[in-house]
Amino acid sequence: MALAGISVKYSGGFRLNLLLCATRKITGKSSMKIEDNKVVTLHYTLKNNDGTVIDQSEDGSFLYLHGAMNIIPGLEKALAGKAAGDEISVKVPPEEGYGEKDEGRIQEVPKEMFDGADQIDVGVQFHAQGPDGTAIVVTVVEIKDDVVVVDGNHALAGVDLNFEVKVVDVRDATEEEIGHGHVHGPDGHAH
């Protein structure tokens, strides 16, 4: 109450000082900057260009190891140098996100190849082997008379990713986390 009296009495200048102190207190929680080998906790909302929310994490459970390719390159780049309390909006184009859509990854597969599957519906995903032998996830996009059309592109390939991000925490990664290339701990990866 005394403070309120003073700020009125001494005009705007004093109030400005109080605000600056308060701001420093909030963001001063950790001034550690995001760089390689830091573990970062984020709140984020991801929208497509229509404004539809594609993904969201607001409970502090999203952690990643910076510099270890845990997240898409465009977002990682935008977060470098930021600190706890910082908020950013970033639009990540496909080439810095999940890549452009590759029509060659859309294929027609004979229906009998799915004989073992419980049900085939549009949207159902299957694990498959890519041309180079790596494991990929394919999504059923169309069902015809005797073939099933599957798409091996990532669901977000070709999509602009609009992120609203708040940096919640930045800490040093442990030697083990750096060695493994991912976050450990209660909210991270468990072995």
List, edge to edge, every strand of the sheet that includes 161-172. 53-65, 38-47, 161-172, 87-92
* Residue with smaller CB distance to Zn ion, 131 or 179: 179
Using CB under 5 A as the binding rule, whether residue 178 contacts Zn ion is answered as no
Name residues whose C-beta falls within 8 Å of residue 7's C-beta, 6 or more positions apart in sequence: 14, 15, 18
In the complex, residue closest to Zn ion by CB: 180
Q: Does residue 172 sit in helix, strand or coil?
A: strand
Binding status of residue 180 toward Zn ion by CB under 5 A = yes
Q: Which stretch binds Zn ion (CB under 5 A): 33-41, 117-125, 165-173, 177-185?
A: 177-185
CB of 37 to Zn ion, least distance (A): 14
CB of 69 to Zn ion, least distance (A): 15
Nearer to Zn ion, 43 or 180 (CB): 180
68 vs 78, beta carbon nearer Zn ion? 68
14 with 21: CB under 8 angstroms?
no
- Give the footprint of Zn ion on this chain (CB under 5 A): 180
